Structures are given as structure tokens and as C-alpha cells.
Chains A and B, each alone.
Chain A
């Protein structure tokens, strides 16, 4: 199903250890061009660790191929330059700087390479998130949780990434905004951006994704086309069924 030539990200036998504790024990993961791949799993499974290791924030063992190139030691700045973007779980916004400054800094590497079309991208991001435009002079640290999420995604988009890695973009968001975020994710795929999506909201993630991995205890427990996994009995029990049972309980 996946042709090797159109693979954007190819991770082989990735291992990460915090001291003596192994957080990832040999992960194989692939993201083809133009697709949404999701990684779901319980808390502490190692999802955030996985994204950090791919990005080069954490030291790791194994191979990371991005855009056909092997990254001997993944280096954050280099990977960003090659078109890899990460919206981390902690967002890492520039709290004391304005929304607009945050967005402009998202395009720093493009600017450094002489690309002066930042205004167009800025306008695109603002049309995607009109709320950010209203708040463009406000300090990023004073934004609401949802607005910060939007800013983090918008800032990553300013770099025009080929592959955008999102760590729980719906974390702490109202259902309406969550739906909006997922709509934007599908929009991005249409524009040719590939996406690696880490989510707690497994139902929504499996709905938008093309392919899915289930991560448990630092290893891939299951993988397959997203639609197929959404029908899988184990996944329904562990990640979808419980949620709906939980919601039924809440409703009653």
C-alpha cells in the first residue's frame, strides 16, 4: 500500500530511554506524502516521547529518514529547515511577545533563506484562525487555552512544513473548537501538508486519519488503515467503547 518513494517520514527501530527506563522500545512508523497518520494510546504510552525523538529534542537510537534523507543525529534546526514542524504538547509559545510576533517568528527560517513572502502566509493563517487576527496585538501568554492552541498551530504553519506533527491539538478544547481544529487538519491535507497526529480523542482522530498506530507501553501494539482500526474490537473496547460508555454514564 505504501510506496517507499512517496514516504515522507520513515522511522525504524526508534528507541528512547529516560535514564534506565526504556520509554520507547523499537518503534517502526511511516508517514506517506499527503496523508494523515495518527498515533493513539493511553497516557504514558510514549506518544510525546516519540514526537520529541523524531524532532531531535530527545536523544534516541535507531533511524529517522525524513524526506528521503537519513538523519544521523536528528537536529531540530536542520529538520525544521527541511520542512518538519512540531506543535508540542506544551505549545512553547513566546509568552511575552505579541500574537503577530509569534506568528512571524514561525517563518524565521524562511526569512533567513531570503523568502520574503511571509505576508501571504500570515494572511492565510489569519483567514484560517480569524480569532488570532482579532488578538494579534495581545501578548501570547494572556490568550485563552483554545487561542493558544490555535496560535501554536498557526505558528507552525508559518514555516510551511511538509510534515506537521501535532501533539494533542484538541487538548482542553470545547467540542465546537475541537471539530474546527479537525476540519483544519483535513484542510491542510488537501493543501498537500502531511500530518502526524497524536490524539487522546481517538474517535475523531481515526475519522480524519488515513492510517493509524496504537502505541502501548512504548511499543506499537496495533497498526492499520484508520477505518479498519476504528472497527477493530480491541480498539473499540480500549479507546472508543470506553469513551462512549463514559459519556453514557455522564449523560445518565
Chain B
């Protein structure tokens, strides 16, 4: 191996590592706030990438119709709930109707946009925004439909539902996007020179956007009251409820963030890797390895661990490409061992 190859591998490693770091943070965030291990995190990545690809090829995806269907179910449930509590209280609270109208209106607007624009010709930024506008609402809606009714159930139940949702979403991905892989156009064509090697500009995009997103997440959680409210839910659920921070609200917000991070990651890597309807799982699994290295508790360690996963993956590709995945996933074992040896029983905060 010479320097040039090392730089190239490093470049791949950092690019993948940055994406894994984003996914690790997202998985961690969802887990601490809602106790849900978000297995479908990877599906948000593929949905983002494949929707972007479909839009670039000028096809309005059927994803919009799926969204409409889920929104309608969601609104029906909310309105029924409103009707039930309203009848008990003897007075209706019509706020739900306004919300339902907004949600349905938003979806209808997206559908109109999808079918009226010549999707292939609009600027790439607009394509990306449209993709996000289409994919991100799935997060809160999926939370509403599948997790909110069982929010206080045992973690194992949550995990089972999470796995079921993952399987269902892979199937739906196949139905919506077909079995072919897709790649999108890079954000910009220019490459640039670093010493003797050419770096791809997409690499820079991935790294810059990831760093920007991580910094934004950090600021949001350390400085804003909404971010603190999510942290508070993670620290003490009952305490948060007594402050009026509803677990439903926290769950929907974290799911929205998770889908946003996932879909954005998908858009970022779609020009570098060919993604298929079922590629999401293995990607998010590597983010998950990073999250485990962080002990499902520490955000910075998880991010660093995820970048390390990306590096190990890239270099093992060079030396032992057949064993690439195995090497990455065996990374977990020393960390689990180390954790179980060093962790003391921490007394429960009363």
C-alpha cells in the first residue's frame, strides 16, 4: 500500500464514517428519548436516496400516495379520539380538525407539486428539498400509528414492532422503487487535488454537511429549550410529563429528526454508492455498531466510533475485501467485553 492508496481509502472511510456517525446519533437519540431501537433507520436512508433518484429521472414517485394514505388514517384516528373525549367532557375541542386540515393540505400540495413539475429539470436543491418534504413526514406518522399506542410497553415489545416495521418498509421499498439499484447525479462535478490524489467533491459535501448537522444537533440540544426538553424526557420521563412535555410530542419530534437525518444521509451518499431497496439495513447496522461503542449513551463516543467503523471498513476492503463486513461487525465484541468488564452497577436514580 502506498500513500496514494491510503489517501483514497481514507477518503472512502471518512465519507462512510460521517454517514454512520449521523445514523449512530439518530439511533441514539431515538433510543434515549423513546426507548425504541430504530431498526428502520436504514430504510429512511434508502427511501431518501431512491426518492431522489426517482425525482431526478422525472418520475413522480408513488411515495406521495402512500403518505396521503397514512395521513388519512392518522387524521381519522385523531378525529375519533377527539370525538370520544369530547363526548365525555360534554364539549368538543375542535383544534384537531384544524390540524388534520393542515396535514391533508400539506400532502395534497406535495402531490400536486410532484405531478405538475417537470421533476428532472428543476434545480438539484429543489429536488433534494422535495425529497425531504416527502420522506420526513413519515417519521412522526409512523410513530403516531405504530409506537404511540404502545409507548409504555416493555422495551422488547417496542423492539419487535420496530423489526416488523423494518421488514414492512423493505417490502414497501421494493414495491415503490423496484428491484433495480439507483444512483443520482453528484451535487457538483468538480474534483480537487490534494497532493498527488484527486478527491471527489461529493466527499467534501458529505463531510461538510455531516459536520454542520452534528454541530446543529449539538447546539439544539445544549442551547434551545426544545432540545433540552427532549433530553429531559430521556433523563426522567415522569419529570418531563409533569413539566408538560408530553412523551407523544417528544416521540414525534425525535422520529422527525431521525427521518430527516436518514433521508439526508441517503441524498448525500446516493451519488457515491448504488443503493437498492434493501441496502438500508446494513448501513444503519454500521451506525448501530458506532452507537454500541458509545454504549447507547454517549453521543461523542458514538460519533467517533462510527467514523472508526467507516475507516476499518475501508481499509479491510483493501486487505481482505471478502471479510469486510465480518471485520466490521466483530468490532463490537471487544467493546462489549470491555463494557461488561468495566461497568459497575449504577444505582438507580429514585
Q: Which chain A residues have a beta carbon within 8 Å of chain B's beta carbons? A: 55, 57, 69-73, 76-77, 80-81, 85-86, 88, 90, 92-97, 101, 104-106, 108-109, 111-112, 141, 155-156, 159
Contacts and interface: CB of A to CB of B under 8 A. Distances in A.
Contact of B88 (A57, A72, A96, A105): A72
Contacts of A105: 225, 228-229, 232, 240, 243, 245
Contacts of B244: 76-77, 80-81, 108-109, 112, 159
B349 interface: yes
Nearest to B225: A111
Contact of B236 (A57, A77, A92): A92
Interface string B134-150: 00000000000000000
Contact of B235 (A77, A97, A111): A97
Given A90-B350, A159-B243, A108 B225 contact: yes
Contacts of B238: 57, 88, 90, 92
B29 to A, nearest CB: 16
A243 B318 CA distance: 79
Contacts of A97: 228, 231-232, 235
A55 B349 CA distance: 22
Contact of A88 (B229, B231, B235, B242): B242
A77 B241 contact: yes
The B contact surface, by secondary structure, is helix
A70 B235 contact: no
B246 interface: yes
Contacts of A57: 238, 241
Given A57-B238, A76-B241, 15 more contacts: A55-B242, A80-B244, A86-B242, A92-B238, A92-B239, A93-B236, A94-B235, A94-B239, A95-B235, A101-B232, A108-B225, A108-B244, A109-B243, A109-B244, A156-B242
Interface string B321-350: 000000000000000000000000000011
Contacts of A72: 85, 88-89
Contacts of A93: 236, 239
Interface string B117-158: 000000000000000000000000000000000000000000
B90 interface: yes
Interface in B229-272: 229, 231-232, 235-236, 238-246, 249
A166 to B, nearest CB: 13
5 contacts: A57-B238, A94-B232, A97-B228, A155-B243, A159-B243
Contacts of A111: 225
A103 B59 CA distance: 51
Interface string B290-310: 000000000000000000000
B232 to A, nearest CB: 5
Interface string B61-93: 000000000000000000000000100111000
